Every structure is written in C-alpha cells, then in structure tokens.
Structure 1
Amino acid sequence: MTKKQKKMLARILVAAVLMIGLHFVPVSGAARFLLYMIPYLTVGYDILLKAWKGIRNRQVFDECFLMAVATVGAIALALYEQSGDYTEAIAVMLFYQIGELFQSYAVGKSRRNISELMDIRPDYANIETDGTLTRVDPDEVETGSVIVVQPGEKVPIDGIVVEGNSTLNTSALTGESVPRDAKAGDEIISGCINLTGVLKIQTTKEFGESTVSKILDLVENASSRKSRSEEFISRFARIYTPAVCYAALALAFLPPLVRFLALGLSPDFGTWVYRALTFLVISCPCALVISIPLSFFAGIGGASNAGVLVKGSNYLETLSQTKIVVFDKTGTLTRGVFEVIGIHHNQMEEEQLLEYAALAESASSHPISKSIQKAYGKELDRSRVTEIREISGNGVTARVDGHEVAAGNDKLMDHLGISCIPCHSVGTIIHLAIDGRYAGHIVISDVVKPHSAEAIRALKAAGIRKTVMLSGDIRKVAEKVAEELGLDEVYSELLPADKVEKVEELIGTKKEKEKLAFVGDGINDAPVLGRADIGIAMGAMGSDAAIEAADVVLMDDDPLKIAKAIRISRKCLGIVYQNIVFAIGIKLICLALGAVGLANMWLAIFADVGVMVIAVLNAVRALFVKNL
C-alpha cells in the first residue's frame, strides 16, 4: 500500500473504533453531538472539503457533493428530531471511504502492472573511452556509437551486437519468460536485461526513436483514448447526478406538501427528508464512474504484461468485435528471411554445388545471395573467385577455381543458351551451370513462423469468421503458404495500393457490427493498418511506420498473440457490461424501495459502497490474462 492509502486506512480504523466505542458512552445533548463529530470529521473531512471546492468552482454535482448532502442532512435530521442517532451519517461516510480505498488499491495494482513495463526505461548507457567505461545519458548517444552492456544492466538503445555472447531477459517487453540468446551480428532491442556476458552494441537508432521510448510513449498515452462505453458513462454521470439531486429534493418536499394541502394530513417532513437522503446515497454513481474506466485500464495493463500493447481503450473495444483478420504474408506469417530448403543436383555432390553457388554469389548483398552463403556455412575464400558479373534481374556469372559458373533464374539460363530442368518445388529457384553445362538448382523460400498455423487455429477457436492473407509474392508461393496454414482466402501479386483496395473490399462484405483487423509489419503495410478497423503491428522487428500506424502492437512478433489479444479484449468488455448491468440494476431496485420508504440508510450504503466494491473487484479481474 502507498503512504496515502495507509493514512486513509488508519483514518477508517480510528473512525470505526470511535463510532463503536461511543455506543457505550452514556452522554446526550450537545456533548453527544460533539463526540460523534470526531469520528465523522476524522473519516470525512476531505469529502466535505472537495464538496465545498466543487460548489465554489460551480462544479456542484459529483459524488462528494452527494455524500456531503446526505450525511450533513442525516445529522441535521437527527438534531431536528433530537434522536441523537448520528451513527448512520458516520457509517455512510465510513463505508464510502472504504469503497474509495478499494478503488485506489485496484487502480494502484493496475498501475503497478504497467509500471513493471515502465521499469524498462534505462537510466544510463556505457561508453568505452580509453579502456574505461563512462556512464552517459542515453539521449546523448549518437547513432553508430558502440555501447557496452554488462550483466544485470538494461539495453538502453536499439542496435546490433558487434562483440560478445549473452542471454537476454525480454519478459518486460514480450511477456515471454524464457531468456533469449544474443551473439555477434544479432539485432537487439532496448528494454531487454542482459543476464550473463558482456555485450558491445553498435546503436542503430537514437534513444528517442528506440523501441523502449516508443513503448513507453504508447503506454503513457493509452488512457487518453476513451472507448464508447467510457464516453457513455461520462455523459451519463453528467446528466444523471443533477437529475437525482433534483429528484431527491422533490421527494423531500412534494409528498409532504401534497399530504398537507390536498389531504389535510400532517406533512411529516422528517420521514420524507430521510427518504430523500437515503435516495441520494443510493443514487451515487460511483460504481459506474469508477469501475468502467478501471476495467479498461486493467485490461490494457494485463495486455501489456502479456506483451500486447493496446494504444487506448477504444481500440480494446474494437478488437473485441473483430470477426475478420487479414494478414500480410512476409514478416507476419513468415519470418521474412530466405532460407535454402532444397538442393537438386545433376551428377554433382550437393555440398560442391552449394559451394560453387556461394562463391559465385559472394560479392552480392541480395537476401537470396545471403541465404545461399548462410546455407553453405563455411568461410568463403574470395581469392578463388574472379570476373564476377551481375546481370540485373537474372543472376550472376563468375570464374571459380578456373571454372565458368552461372547462378540465376530461368532468364539467365536462356540468355546463356543452357537448357535447365524445371523444378516443381514452391519457392525461388536458383539454377546453376558450370562450364556451360547444367549442374542443378537450389530452392529458396521464406520460412513460415513456428506458431503461424497454431495462430490461425486459435483465431478460429476464438470465433473469427474469416482469415485472409494478402501478399505481393507470386500466386504459387502465396497459395502454398495459405494452404499450409489453413487460411480461408489468399490474394497474391499485390502492390501496397492493391492491398488497401482489397481491405476496403473486404470491409464492404462484413456484417454491420463486425470489425476487420489487419496484421502487418512492413513500411508498405502502414496505409493498410490505418485503413482497417483495427491495425495490429509486429513490434519487435516491425518497421517504425507500421508501429506508428497500428492500434495494437505485438512485442515479440508472435502471431499467436493475436488470438490472445482478442480474448483479453473480450474478457475486458464482458467485465464492463457485467458492471454496467449490475450497478444500474441494483440501484434502480434500491431507488424504488427508498422512494416508497422500504429502504433505510444501511441498504443505501450497500447500494452505493457495496455495489462499488463488488464492481471494482470484478474490474480487477481484467488484470489476470496469463491463462487466456
């Protein structure tokens, strides 16, 4: 508990002890009144001050005003009737403060869940100068600088490991508890905690543009984007509170006047004022005003803890209504890196074929060339290669160990007049010819992510009606991936503008209350992310433009998190609707009972504070998302 919460708890305990103890003190009159005011003011002085400030600032109608009127009215009524019963007024204020303490603790728990994410903010960066480490502010580190991260320290800025091996704790970013290995050449994002070895990292971004800064900015601004439910509750409270105040005023004076003027009976103001005060306590909208924003706040906190960043409660609400999920292929369902998946040779050993291809491609930085060199896996002796010539759009020719080697596509083979054997495998085919004779071919493909198929199954289990994939790749490759993953529809050979048109077309086919989500990672996905009802970006390796345009960011690029994000949003919205129905239903029943005199102040306390505590405890459930 915070210092402020402990102080409030102490005030509540002191007031409760005094209220109970005064029952055994045989005093009456002014002395009794003064003694009972001690626990009343102990627990309620801040509410009275807030109510007075509201009146002075002409912002009268809030829960503090209702509590002040109800309790001061109850005390005035006890004085008028000379009953000396001030317990109800103290109890109303006491239980209201207990409810406020519950609410404060629940909000604090939600904030702590998000503040765990805030712990990723680095305090410093280590720069090595003349063999010694100097701590500097991360904002002062320029792009391209080499920083040193020691065991136990946070990675302050995105970069590439240039020296060292270690394992990284990424749980604050991704929600994944298993440490990840890092070695020279690996990309590394800020916010991770270095666990074992010393790493030297060459920065690729400034601190303000790094992953950790963007995450913190997203979380800090999330609460500013309100959902329709929150906006409705805010508007409801602005109309509802003045309405019940005027209704209570009418209840206090109209029935007694009717009794006196029309029926000639005693007006009995005391009874009707008591009913009006009870009516006021019952009508206090705390349960709705507090629990609905808290539910969304807890939902965003729980999602953040699971590695899913939701930029606002409005997006959480939209995500819960998603029925169509559209995927980009490369980098989203596939890894976005090419790998050799097959070597088909013609009277030559596989290893030798791959060696010739790797040497011929050794001067190229093209991803396909890199994938062949990676598959070879050995250090290349560039001195063995001469006369390298790259033919744009076709491939390369080179002299390797005195042999003429050509590596490329069908067009290159046609250009050289070499007959090649067609390949029925799906992927990019690199044909190889040595000394004018066909030697075989290598099949290269973008590899499907390990959890992609499971992610599609999880989405369908979560009630997603249609899964679609959009790709700029050739039809054969796109259809093979779609078939492997079990997608409902696939569209291939699309330019970025074509993807926007296709998403608009799909939006036109959905039902009225259904929402369409688009999942992408590349810079060319930004227009589509912005056009969809809800845009989901792959955060860890996704482009800055995609993350900026998206409404939801998955921190570990795992498509399986999409289904989890949808389940989190639906749980959160379910809690919101439960609280709305429960709070309004109980209050309407108790208001009716209070108006006809069947509810006393103790039932009013339950209708106000009891309902608020139950609603707050229900809202806190949105934090717990691990088993979803």
Structure 2
Amino acid sequence: MEKKMKDIKYSLSDLSCASCADRIERKVNKLDDVEVASVNFVTKEITITPKKSYDSETLFSKIKKIVKDEESSTEVCEISTNLLFAIEGLDCANCAAKIEDKLIKTDGIIDASVDFMSKKLKLVLSNVSEKNKIIDITQKIISKLEPGVTISEINQGGDSDVEEVDESTLKKDLIIFGVGILLFISALFVKEDTLPHYVLLILSYFIIGGEVVLKAFKNIFRGKVFDENFLMTIATVGAFIIGEHPEAVAVMIFFQIGEFFQDIAVNRSRRSIKKLLDIRPDTAMIQNGKNSVEMRIEEVGIGEIMIIRPGERIPLDGEVITGKSTIDTKVLTGESVPTSVFPGEQVLSGCININGVLTVMVTKLSSESTVSKVLELVENASSKKAPTEKFITKFARVYTPIVVIIAALLAFIPPLLIEGATFDEWIYRALIFLVISCPCALVVSIPLGFFGGIGAASRNGILVKGGNFLEALNDIEIAVFDKTGTLTEGTFTVTEINTMNGLSNEELLEKAAYVESYSNHPIAVSVVSKYNKEINQNLLSKVEEISGHGVKAMYQGAEILIGNARLMDKEGIDFQESKSLGSILYIAIDGQYAGNIVVSDQIKKDSKTAIQMLKSFGIKKIVMLTGDKKLVADSVGKELMIDEVYSELLPEDKLIKVEELLKQKSKKGKLFFVGDGINDTPVLARSDIGIAMGGLGADAAIDVADVVIMNDEPSKIGTAVFVAKRTRKIVWQNIYFALGIKFMFLALGALGIATMWEAVIADVGVSLLAVLNAMRVLNYKYDKSL
C-alpha cells in the first residue's frame, strides 16, 4: 500500500472569521500541489497533505496569497517555526531564567521557554527562513551568559533523554574534592599563623572552590553579578580578608557538597519523571511478504502491517487484522483493568500487548500517533508556566540584589553609628547575608513541583497542557458538564419491555428488532443489539420510513408499526402513553397496540463519585447542560445531586449559558466545562478551562481542550483537581519553608548569632529538602481529608 505523505501544518494567527476560514480551506484544496487541506478555526491552524511532487516554497507562497486575499490581518507561518533544543551543561536554574529573558527580547524570536527540569529550550520564530541565523544568535547569547552550555536541535516529540552524569568524570571530581578535604583537615592540625597552615588552606580552597571563583570572575566581566558563584566567592574571600581562614574553606566545602547532593536529587527527579514517559518504542516489526523486518517507527507508513508479540508495546496506532489479546492501557488511561481486543478494533500506541500475537494495520504515522501526542503534550506542558512559577522567577531577580545591598549597608553603616562596633565583626555578619541570599531552593523546586504534578496527572490518564492550567484547577468555583457521553455512557440500552394482549417480551422484541434492522439510528441499533440473534431481512417487506414518526413494515404476514407517540396518533392507534424515562418506542401489530420498548442512556458508574469529589473540594456550583428532554435531564441531575440542570439546549444555547455562568463567578474564580471535545468545541474554547472527556485518540479533543481525560471516567476530573491541589500545597510548602529559613538566618546573622558555615549548611540543606519535597507530588494517593 502506498505511503501517505507527511502532513504540513501552518498557523494562522489572528484568524477571526469562520467563513473566511471555510473559504481558505476550499481554495487551498483546489491547489495542484495539495491532496487535501483542513482548516481548524478553533486552533487557528491549517493542515495540508501535499502531493508527492510538491515544492514546499511554492506551496507556502500560494497559501500565503490565499490567506492574505481572504483576511489580510492573518499571518501564516509554518508550525516548524517552533523549535526544540536539548541543552547540555546547564546546571543553574537562575541562569536558565536569565537565558529565557534575554532570548524573549531577541529580534526574530516570538517566544522562548527554558525548561531547567528537562533541560530543553523551546523557541517560536517569527520567520522560518531565518531559522539558522536565529540558532546561531541563540547559541551566542547562551555562551555569553553561561559559557560551556550548548544546544542541539531535536525533533518535536523526539527523544527526551535526560542528561546523565558521566561516571568517569564523577570519579575524577570526587578524587579532586577528596584531596582538597584532606588538605583542609591537615591545615587544622598545623599550627595557626604559620606558612604551612596558610598554604594548606589556600591550596584546599582553590582545589575545592577554584571552579566557583573562576566562574564568578568570568560572569562579572559579562555583567552577570548576582549568582551563587559570585555570592560564594565574595563571602569566602571576605572571610579570608577578615582572618576567618578555616571558616572560608569550610563554607566552600559545604557549598560544593550541597551542590553535589542537589544535582543528584534533581537528576533523580528528572529520571523519575522521564520513566513515566518512557512509553514509545523506537522500532516496529513490519510484515514483508512471508518475512518480517524491523523498522524505525518514523519510517513506517499508513497501511503497513505490524506484528506485535506478547509483552511488547504497541509502536503505532492501528486496527487489529488478526489475533485476539488483552491490552494493558494503564500507561495512557490510568485504567488498571486490561481490555480485550479482537479483529476490527482499534489499538493505541504505547499500550502493552499482554498475551496474544496481533497483526495490526497502521492507521496513523509516528508523528500523529496517540503516544507521540501524549509525550509532546506532557513534555511541552512545562513551557506554559504557572503564575506561581512566574512570580518566583521575578521575585528571585529582585530578592538577591536587595539582600546584597542590605549586606553592604550592614557591613559599613553599624560600625560608623554604633560605638565599639568593628568593621571585621559587621563585615562577617554581612558575609552571612551573602551566603544565605542564593534563591536556588525556590528557583529549582517550584518548577520541579509543577513538572511533577503534570507527570502525576499523566500517570493517571490525565493530560494537563501546562502548569498554568494545573494551578487554575485550584480556583474552580463552577463546574459545568455536558450530559451525553460525559456523565452518561452515550450509548443507548433497552431498559424496559412492556407488552399488551398476552404477547411475550421475546416476541415483541423480535418484531421490533426485525423492523428496526433497516435503520442505523442509535436507538434502532440498541434494539437489534438487545435481540442479539441473526436477522433474516428477507422476512421483511414493504418497509417504509415515516419521517419524524417511525417505521412501518410487513413481517410474517403482519403489519408492524414502531415509532413515537405521534406515529400512534397519526395511524389512529389506541395506546397508553408511557411515563418511563428515556426514548419510548410504541409498537402496534395489525392496527392493535402491542406494547412499548424503553431505550435510555445509562449513567456512568463513577459519575456520582465524580460529583461528590468535586463538592468535597469546595466547588460552589455544579451545572449540567444537555440537549436531552427535560424529564430525562432532571432525572439524571437528581440522581447525581447536580445543583442546576438546563435541558433541551442547542449547541449555541450551551455557549450562551456558559457565558451567563462565567459572569456569576468571582474575579479570581474559574469555570471549567467538560464535554466530548468534538461537539462542544466552542464551549470548551470559551471556558476558563476546557476538559475533554474520553479524548483517547480524538484529535479534536487534544487540539481544543486544556485538560484531556484519556478515558471515559468522570472521576478522573476529581483526580485532576486533587493533583492540582496537592501540587499547589507542596509548592507553597517549599516557598514558606525556604523563605522562612532564609529570613531566620538573615536575622540570626545580623544579630551575630549564626556563623557562616551554619548559614551555608542551612542554605544547601533548604535547597535539597525543597527538591525532595517537590518530588512527593509524584506519589499520587487520593485523600478526602486534604
């Protein structure tokens, strides 16, 4: 089978006209180079499947002209202008923030995001043609701010390996560090105020902290003053000057030990999160005639046949051709119970084939597969920073210079104003200020907390598209649900069979199933499914569909009428109208009423649990919107204890109702809407947070929603809110803890109670504990007492 050409995506910024979007789509589809084109007005993107012989530059020019003709204010740019880089050698979270700030202000770069946790840089360029130029400028900026740090471009959704510490380098560093400590210990046993004593101390200082001092001086010449290297250098050199020689070396030793353990903790946390995302196989076994060949998943085309053995992960989305097996979907949906698959059913990449050999026809390319989308969403989520993260970054920029200024004032003002105060004493206290002022505990642990929260949600089958959305889930005041497919199964089931005139349930169901077998309406399908026997349509004759009423047919010599109450009235049938909840199918045989069949949509098993969870989190109002009949909607709302129910709504009515509800919340409060992600896209887009239910494999859901629930369980919405609350709780624990300890030692240092080495132990200890505390968010366990 011929492979499908890889799709090209262009963004259409400022596209505000739906009819223009439609015209753009129609015109682009008429281009000779285009196989098919689709404009998504919600995401403001156009997806092109080009023909084999297309020229990319010519095609891009043609599309730009079409867009300009239809809506002149709309800019077209390739999605490939979003570039992703791996960063090597970056070990300073504060420096990462400075790099990001500088790149955002650079011409040609629309947006920049440095993710210190995963060591990735994401750039959005204004013009793809300047890509190479911008990459060179970016590397120069990074080299100037942080020498030795390099970037290398990686594919979107590509390999997310975490930079590992080389073991030989680690051993070498530990040996050098050990020699420095031995020299320091030796100096303590040598008589003070002697040349050997000073030589041993100075040697140990430069062996242990030489790299820190060198970085500090290089940074000063680049105008980068307030970082941890500068602070430690000034503090320790100042200690030497005022005669606190052993303490100066001890401070550098503790600082380096703290940095070492902090690096270990951060790298371990990165590996923990990476392990959650290690769900994409690199290769697939492809059937090639009677043989099979191993291929990289990027080279596999649509229509090719994969062979998946027991224990293997499914490499690409596809349809089962032969074989039966059980699939573990936990990695995508968080669902612990495996599901059975048979020929004709869809299987999704990333899931594990448990016990049977499957042959699967590929239905999506690697770049479009479910697992690629999941990985891309989770990995890129950290670029959408939460307000708390942004606050801490700004706070760190202001906090450190203020503390340095206070330290300078503390060193020189008191000796001039206080009788008997010496410069040595107050300079020492000022140096303690410098030691404790480093904001690393906050700058590292806060993003790590949100990254961990997003990872924890992903492990539970919930995709949160950014830390901003995760934090916003804490402020939900109004929860709005669609009914069908969200709180209810969305599939019709026969719930009652009521007969008249001595007819058995089985006989009535048989007659109804035969007549309904000619229809593909969901209600008709549910009746045929309930009958669950082979139907010989040759036994039917004179089948007539009566629009808006029902169906008439001859079966086994009898005239069968099946439909709504209007059909019975139209045909003059004397019948008794049912009060049952659901869709009622009235049946008449040869002009006599024979009974009715009630078909209804079932409430999902955990819908009630979901509503109870949300209420336990203090959400003020829970609302259900549906196009269903009032009687049915009110019944569902009453059973689930929903606060407000609005029924018989058209899609545009739902949008109007959400607009009204948005006005009822407080200024800081949020509203989320939960829908199926396809029919409810306008409402999902308008809500503060759009949550797509059952979005597994649904492109529309993943594109539009801010949060995607990867299966059909409403209780996962409660889980998402819980993870958000747990994440915020841990993040603010770190903020209070770090600032509390720092301010306490600043006060103790100013009062002359704390020594310098106590301050450095407190500083590195706070950083280490904050990082370890941030990792607790990964250990998800729902606790109603939270």
Question: Scaled by the length of structure 2, what TM-score is found?
Answer: 0.73
In structure 2, what is the equivalent of residue 377 of structure 1?
Answer: 532
* Root-mean-square deviation (Å): 2.8
Q: Distance in 2 between matches of 1:172 and 1:580?
A: 32
- Cα distance in structure 1, aligned partners of 2:604 and 2:178: 57
Point out the structure with the larger helix share.
Answer: 1
| Pair 1:208 & 2:400 matched | no
Letter in 2 for 1:189: L
Match of 1:394 among 523, 529, 549: 549
Instruction: Note if 1:100 corresponds to 2:255.
Output: no
8 Å contact from structure 1 (residues 230, 292) kept in 2: yes
Partner of 1:57: 222
Within-5 A mapping of 1:274-423? 274-346=428-500, 347-423=502-578
| 1:23 matched residue in structure 2 | 188
- Greater CA drift, 229-238 or 407-416: 407-416
Task: Check whether the contact 1:300–1:310 (CA below 8 A) recurs between aligned residues.
Answer: yes
Match of 2:165 in 1: 3
Q: Tell me the residue number matched to 1:154.
A: 313
| Worse overlay, 447-456 or 385-394 | 385-394
- Partner residue of 1:242? 401
| Pairs within 5 Å for 1:36-47 | 36-47=201-212
Per-residue CA distance 1:329-375 (angstroms, 9 max, x = gap):
11111111111111112232222222222222223322222212221
Q: Compare 191-200 and 505-514 and name the one that shifted more.
A: 505-514
Are 2:703 and 1:544 equivalent residues in the alignment?
no
The verdict on how the C-alpha distance between 1:218 and 1:239 changes in structure 2, with shifts beyond 3 A counting, is same
Q: Deviations over 1:553-601 (max 9, x none)?
A: 2222211122222122112212222222222222223212322323210
Deviating more after overlay: 472-481 vs 269-278:
269-278
Q: Distance in 2 between matches of 1:540 and 1:92?
A: 53
Distance in 1 separating the partners of 2:555 and 2:211: 86
Compare 426-435 and 399-408 and name the one that shifted more: 399-408
**Contact 1:110-1:297 within 8 A present in 2 as well:** no
Deviation at 1:202, TM superposition (A): 4.3
- Partner deviation per Cα, 1:38-89 (whole Å, 9 max, x = no partner): 54344434433443343233222122221222223323443xxxxxx54323
CA distance in 1, matches of 2:670, 2:515: 50
What are structure 1's unaligned runs of at least 5 residues?
Answer: 79-84
Where 2:484 maps in the other structure, the secondary structure is helix
Asked if residue 131 in structure 1 is aligned to residue 285 in structure 2, the reply is no
Structure 1 counterpart of 2:407, one-letter code: A
Distance 1:396 1:16, change over 3 A: farther
1:279-333 CA distance string (max 9 Å, x none): 1002222222222222222222222222222221111211112232111111111
Q: Is the 8 A contact 2:692 2:701 kept in 1?
A: yes
1:82-122 CA deviation, whole Å, 9 max, x = no partner?
xxx54323332333333334433443344334323322213
Q: Measure the CA separation in 2 of the matches of 1:202 and 1:369.
A: 31
Distance verdict in 2 for CA 1:12–1:403, change over 3 Å: farther
* Paired residue type of 1:24: F
Asked if the contact 1:390/1:396 (under 8 Å) is kept, the reply is yes
Query: Residue in 2 aligned with 1:173?
Result: 332
SS at match of 1:93: helix
Q: Which has the higher contact order (CA 8 A, sep 6+)?
A: 1
Tell me which of 548, 562, 569 is aligned to 2:724. 569
Relative to structure 2, which stretch is displaced further, 475-484 or 36-45? Answer: 36-45
Query: How far did residue 496 of structure 1 move?
Result: 2.0
What is the match of residue 222 of structure 1?
381
Query: How many Å separate the matches in 1 of 2:753 and 2:668?
Result: 42
Q: Does 1:493 align with 2:648?
A: yes
* 1:244-297 per-position Cα deviation (integer Å, ceiling 9, x unaligned): 2222233333444557xxx7x7x8433332222111002222222222222222
CA displacement at 1:490 relative to structure 2: 0.8
Give the match for residue 82 of structure 1: none
Aligned letter for 1:61?
F
8 Å Cα contact 2:276/2:455 also seen in 1: no
Q: Could you say what secondary structure the match of 1:446 adopts?
A: strand
Using the TM superposition, name which of 178-187 and 572-581 deviates more.
178-187
Pairing 1:612–2:774 present: no
1:111 to 252, 265, 270: 270
* TM alignment of 1:245-264, pairs within 5 A: 245-257=404-416
Deviations 1:150-196 (A, max 9, x none): 21222233344343321111221123333222233444332211111
Q: Distance in 2 between matches of 1:36 and 1:378?
A: 91
User: Which of the residues 648, 666, 679 maps onto 1:524?
Assistant: 679
SS of the residue 1:523 aligns to: coil
Contact 2:190/2:196, CA 8 A, preserved across alignment? no
Q: Is the 8 A contact 1:116 1:172 kept in 2?
A: no
- CA–CA distance in structure 1, aligned partners of residues 303 and 549 of structure 2: 35
Residues 138-147 or 522-531, more deviating: 138-147
| Matched position secondary structure for 2:618 | coil
Aligned-residue sequence identity (percent) comes to: 52
Write the distance in 1 (CA, Å) between the matches of 2:484 and 2:707: 19
Cα 1:530–1:172 change in 2 (3 A) is same
Do 1:590 and 1:604's aligned partners in 2 also have CA atoms closer than 8 Å? Answer: yes
- For 1:377-405, what per-residue CA distance to the aligned partner results, in whole angstroms no more than 9, with x for missing partners? 22323333344333333333333344333
